[in-house]
């Protein structure tokens, strides 16, 4: 059974790029441990920027982000806060649109790199864990291949296994299927669905409405750096309250 304590709490998060591009405008966001939240909305609405702020790949301009009890305010982080940010990142796996695999390493090498170099786990133990994960994502037979020899779907599943090898408490997905050919999307979505069923906390920016409708606990719609509305998938997809939501959903459903 899923426990329901808050694991991420973002308060009044703003992000300004350059002099005047206000990408995020006072975002408030909470997610409970074990919850699956899907963020949808038009291109350029701030979805990926928000996801990158959650693990400080982008530094918020104003507001604060709390992860598992550690609060990081916006602004240039202190030395102590940089240490805390590294701890936060260790709890968050992130899967990007592009697979970002190391081309000079085998599939197995990619998966063990983080645990061995960052967490200082013994290589033998890391290999054992990596083999379990590659089996879990259906790629045991590809462990000695190089990424260039794999198509997009398997590469993205390697990227998921690589994130899981760090034993994160939260998984962030930034449009993980947008770079894939349509016939390869399903195999990545299936892995995401299995993660959700096993109780992983997930924040996903995705265009895969099937995943949003069938797996998410909540769907949140963003436009122009703000939430338009949020709610259970059935409510959002069947009876959206806001006109902007209806216009967006009319284009994607």
Digitized pLDDT (tens) for each residue of the chain, 253 residues in all: 344 699 999 999 999 998 889 999 999 999 999 999 999 999 999 999 999 999 999 999 999 999 999 999 998 888 999 999 998 988 999 999 888 899 999 999 999 999 999 889 999 999 999 999 999 999 999 999 999 999 999 999 999 999 999 999 999 999 999 888 888 899 899 999 999 999 999 999 998 999 999 999 999 999 999 999 999 999 999 999 999 999 999 988 7
- Predicted local distance difference test score (pLDDT) of residue 237: 94
> What pLDDT score was predicted for residue 231?
96
Listed in sequence order, the residues at least 6 apart from 23 whose beta carbon sits closer than 8 Å to its beta carbon are 15, 16, 17, 46, 49, 225
DSSP states of the chain: -----EEEEEEEEEEEETTTEEEEEEEEEEEETT-EEEEE--TTSSHHHHHHHHTTSS--SEEEEEETTEEEESSSPPHHHHHHHHHHHHHEEEE-SS----TTS-HHHHHHHHHHHTS---HHHHHHHHHHHHHHTT-GGGTTS-GGGS-HHHHHHHHHHHHHTT--SEEEEESTTTTS-HHHHHHHHHHHHHHHHTT-EEEEE-S-HHHHHHH-SEEEEEETTEEEEEE-HHHHHHS-SSHHHHHHHHHH-
* pLDDT given at position 1: 37
Q: What is the dihedral of CA 225, 171, 52, 186, to 10 degrees?
A: -70
**Angle, vertex CA 183, rays to CA 159 and CA 96, nearest 5:** 25
Token pair recorded at residue 132: 């379990």
Q: Which two tokens stand for residue 128?
A: 């054992």
Q: Map tokens 């975002």 to a residue.
A: 27
- Burial category of 64 from C-beta neighbours within 10 Å (exposed 0-12, middle 13-18, buried 19 and up): middle
Among candidate residues 154, 160, 138, the one with its CA nearest the CA of residue 204:
160
Query: What's the confidence (pLDDT) of residue 4?
Result: 65
């Amino acid at each position: 059974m899923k426990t329901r304590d808050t694991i991420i709490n973002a308060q009044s998060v703003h992000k300004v790029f350059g002099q005047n591009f206000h990408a995020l405008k006072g975002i408030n966001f909470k997610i409970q441990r074990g919850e699956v939240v899907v963020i949808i909305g038009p291109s350029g609405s701030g979805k990926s920027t928000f996801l990158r702020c959650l693990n400080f790949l982008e530094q918020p301009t104003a507001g604060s982000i709390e992860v598992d009890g550690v609060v990081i305010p916006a602004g240039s982080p202190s030395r102590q806060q940089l240490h805390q940010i590294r701890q936060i990142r260790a709890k968050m796996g992130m899967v990007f649109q592009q697979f970002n695999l190391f081309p000079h390493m085998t599939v197995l090498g990619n998966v063990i790199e983080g645990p061995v170099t960052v967490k200082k786990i013994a290589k033998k133990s890391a290999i054992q864990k990596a083999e379990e994960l590659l089996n879990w994502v259906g790629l045991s037979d590809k462990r000695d291949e190089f990424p260039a020899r794999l198509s997009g779907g398997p590469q993205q599943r390697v990227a998921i296994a690589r994130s899981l090898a760090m034993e994160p408490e939260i998984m962030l997905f930034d449009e993980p299927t947008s770079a894939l050919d349509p016939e390869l999307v399903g195999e990545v979505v299936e892995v995401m669905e299995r993660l959700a069923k096993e109780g992983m906390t997930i924040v996903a920016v995705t265009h895969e409405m099937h995943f949003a409708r069938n797996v998410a606990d909540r769907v949140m719609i963003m436009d122009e750096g703000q939430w338009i509305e949020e709610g259970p998938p059935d409510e959002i997809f069947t009876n959206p309250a806001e006109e902007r939501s209806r216009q967006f959903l009319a284009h994607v459903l």
